[in-house]
Amino acid sequence: MMKKTWVCMFAAALWMASLVGCGTKSDTQSAAVVTTGEFTSAVSVAPEEDASDFVLLTDRVPDAILEIRYYSTYNFVGDRIDGYEQPVALLTKEAASALKEVSDELVSKGYRLKIYDAYRPQKAVTHFMNWAKDVDDTRMKEYFYPELDKSVLFDQGYIAEKSGHSRGSTVDLTLFDMKTEKEVDMGGTFDYFGELSHPDYREGITEEQYNNRMVLRDAMLGHGFKPLEEEWWHFTLEDEPFPDTYFTFPVSEKSVK
């Protein structure tokens, strides 16, 4: 009787192992393994909290220059944004590898990439939402939305409940000219709310400024990124690995170390 029971238990163990072996990347994303002494157990981690497929961008793209605006107070809100615990940039491994190819191409032409933002936790997006609801807080209006009334930011799509940045494969960036040791003139600033920020806007910018936008755009598109038609600085990896997951872990080295 005991021998029969042992055989049944062994068969059940094999069956469970086969189920685990068939799991996909997204299936196994929510489990972390913790080893304590003789015992090994699985600890549940919600998919949106799992940073295991993310890297510190500068580990993959050491030539990049960082100016993480949402860690500072120089942004359209005027405060440090929730979830930005360090002035670092995080991206999925896939997006970081593609951005390394972009960087290598542009470095050979005398440029470096300057990063304003990459992965953005959902907590930060919520911070934007709460700020937009307070129509009396217009501290940064003259710098970022002088042509717009703050009350229209929701309707015109500048502020939303979800951001592609929270999926981990979107980056906001510009070019830095190594000869002049300055940012390249794009004819408009990062996070400016208005038509001036549209990549194909021509009326109010010079031919040189437009061409500078195209240098960045062509390099990004050439290595697998797709643009956003309202922002010259915004690009998302076309084959992003987590198209339906909005992550919540903070922007910090600790999240990926």
First-to-final CA distance of the chain: 50
> What counts of helices (H) and strands (E) characterise the chain?
8, 10
- Set 48, 161, 208, 231: catalytic member: 231
In the chain the beta strands, taken as DSSP E runs, fall at 31-36, 39-44, 54-56, 65-66, 90-92, 111-117, 170-177, 182-183, 225-228, 231-237
Q: Which tokens sit at 47?
A: 């998919």
Nearest to 170 by CA among 215, 220, 216: 220
Strand 65-66 to 111-117 pairing: parallel
CB neighbour list of residue 139: distance below 8 Å, 6 or more residues apart = 78
Note if 94 is an active site residue.
no
The set of catalytic residues is: 231
